Structure 1
């Protein structure tokens, strides 16, 4: 009797790839697009931006009241086309919250920080992917609704070459992206999707109205430094008497974003997850 000896095939040992920022970004890119809620929320945000902008433009063109959120009704043709910004801010902000707080609710954050022990590269990767995608989508939406809205308004509409128009349209994309980054920061700090969304809504929509009612007239200038007011100053073509200058408004708004992201980074670095 003979015994057949089968030689075992040699095992191929693949070298372990070092974790770096580029690979973490690639991982977050895959996670970003693998979530159905991501696509749905972005679609809702664009529909709000374009839909309300076109509706307000059509009403502005026929001399009707263009409407808009209380206290932020459009007073010019550019503002009419960009009326949907305030609604899209909440949608993009919600997307930012879901991107960060959603990992805490599902427990995915444990896998993320186990794969990337230094932790902060995960946050930077989320911010990089979110900023690239949302700014591109928001800019496309703002450009489309402005162009279509001015066509609906007709002869009284504005053009891209008019003073402040390009800043308003591009600034809309910047503000929408910034609102989403605020959502990421709140999601990392609060680790609760409902809590972070509620806080974002209160800060971006309710705070300025409450402050205008409660703050004495001698302190009324404080209102212009609130996040929504500062963002509005940057995207406005015509500045109001109590508004910040456009670039000052952008600086204040980005200051809030940087401060909140910095707090989120500190929290992520020191927490046990």
Structure 2
């Protein structure tokens, strides 16, 4: 079963028949769009109480995407479970017996995650944007405005790259609890805390979530020394490094 198309089909069937696949991706959509809508509505209602400097630097596009950093939680869970469920159940032994080529297996799982997450992320991004802009009232922007379409696509790419990063971590650590125990604190505790510590915040600027925030901004940020394109390549580098690390350990270890 070493033929890549056969392995890809097998992985596709395994992933799409698991109920948690659709639940986690649906949660990612609902949380991202829902929280973005709430924050957009609240921002619109409190516009008159905002300071002049906040109004001048207001980014309507990134405001509608405020829910992505919680919504990515579901994407992380989905990607970790794609590989972690097989290790937890022992099914990985049968998988590796059928597909002894480790690179083929990893590429097939990567392709399946990409084929599932990217379309969902694109739908989520566009729905979240249009819903958020509708709730921002007179303070909204149009999809045709400078940099807006790039930011909308950027949000989808960010969610997809976070999924690939999480898949790589799943291959490295194998156990879902261990993988989530690393990824969740990193994105929700470690990265935000380090970003606020003067002596290490220059390093934290290059963490994937910080780089991802640049991908969804239209108004340039003064706290980060790079723009959206560099943010994309930083996230891409993180995802590639985790996948390569996963492959290196997968190649050396047994099931």
TM-score (norm 1): 0.85
Tell me the equivalent position of 1:129. 112
CA contact (8 A) 1:203 1:227 kept: no
Query: What does the per-residue CA deviation read over 1:46-101, in whole Å, with 9 as the maximum and x for residues that have no partner?
Result: 11011111111211222269xxxxxxxx9421122111110111110111001111
CA shift for structure 1 position 192: 1.2
Asked which structure has the greater CA Rg, the reply is 1
Structure 1 residues 75 and 192, CA gap change in structure 2 (3 angstroms) = farther
Cα distance in 1 between the residues matched to 2:156 and 2:196: 30
CA shift for structure 1 position 215: 4.3
CA contact (8 A) 1:205 1:228 kept: no
Alignment of 1:92-241 (within 5 A): 92-216=75-199, 220-241=201-222
Q: Does 1:80 align with 2:63?
A: yes
Cα distance in 1 between the residues matched to 2:222 and 2:35: 26
How many residues align? The count is 246
CA shift for structure 1 position 242: 2.2
Cα distance in 2 between the residues matched to 1:119 and 1:172: 31
CA contact (8 A) 1:221 1:242 kept: no
SS of residue paired to 1:175: helix
Which structure 1 segments of 5+ residues have no match?
1-17, 66-73
Q: Does 1:251 align with 2:237?
A: no
CA shift for structure 1 position 208: 2.3
CA contact (8 A) 1:234 1:246 kept: yes
Cα distance in 1 between the residues matched to 2:35 and 2:201: 30
Q: Does 1:31 align with 2:31?
A: no
SS of residue paired to 1:160: coil
Say what the alpha-carbon RMSD is for the aligned residues.
Answer: 1.7
Tell me the equivalent position of 2:252. 270
Cα distance in 1 between the residues matched to 2:12 and 2:47: 44
Cα distance in 1 between the residues matched to 2:197 and 2:135: 40
CA contact (8 A) 2:122 2:153 kept: yes
CA shift for structure 1 position 252: 1.1
Cα distance in 1 between the residues matched to 2:68 and 2:14: 27
Query: What does the per-residue CA deviation read over 1:245-271, in whole Å, with 9 as the maximum and x for residues that have no partner?
Result: 111111111111101100101111111
SS of residue paired to 1:225: coil
Which structure 2 segments of 5+ residues have no match?
49-56
SS of residue paired to 1:124: helix
